[in-house]
Amino acid sequence: MPAYKRILLKLSGEALMGDDAYGINRATIVRMVREVRQVTDQGVEVAVVIGGGNIFRGVAGGSVGMDRATADYMGMLATVMNSLALADTMRQEGMTARVMSAISIEQVVEPYVRPKALQYLEEGKVVVFAAGTGNPFFTTDTAAALRGAEIGAELVLKATKVDGVYTADPAKDPDAKRYENITFDEAIARNLQVMDATAFALCRDQKLPIKVFSIFKPGALERVVRGENEGTLVHV
């Protein structure tokens, strides 16, 4: 039986690139969707927040010197594109997903309304939260923490290329050790970059645990929701 009933999965836009320089790698997004389906088939309610770095990377050169707020709004639109691609892939894999945007683009996706999002989750649909928080200067990490708290998620899962939080960069230090679990205060004291500071503080204040794991390990998501020793758990 799954250890968690409702989770918030935070995906980076870069995770969708595969080996490409930018954009969306079809094989990569299909594999991720199938990982999500493994847990939804077990009755786990899943919401997703996705970044836009893979799309925004393609226009990064033209954004140099741009006003920060304008650049952030462009990034929000990139997350909408990723969210639509993710939801469409889920549809093709036999799942039902709903994209809800923090900024109004009603011809494309429906606006974020908390009671509606909760209804979709209870109906077994995957809810994809697009456009971050709808405000510039806030990252999609913060959006994940915020939406996770709003929907009553039991766990925020930060899916990365690394299978947890380490004492040092494992790519540079072969002796780096992975933490199985660590408290928020310990992570701050050791200056471990789990999420951005605003998101991290919000999760700590709401007593919302964070699990950092590798989305590229087959079956890792399922092991996480079963409560197995996968990745690193950050808790109060």
Q: What are the binding residues?
A: 10-13, 52-53, 57, 72, 133-140, 160, 166, 169
Residue with tokens 């510039």: 136
Binding positions for ATP: 10-13, 53, 57, 160, 166, 169
CB 19 within 8 A of CB 46: no
By the 8 A CB rule, do 172 and 192 touch? no
Cα 160 to Cα 86, 115, 163, 212, 216: the distances in Å are 17, 29, 7, 7, 8
Which amino acid makes up residue 169?
Answer: D
Instruction: Give binding residues for UMP as ranges.
Output: 52, 72, 133-140
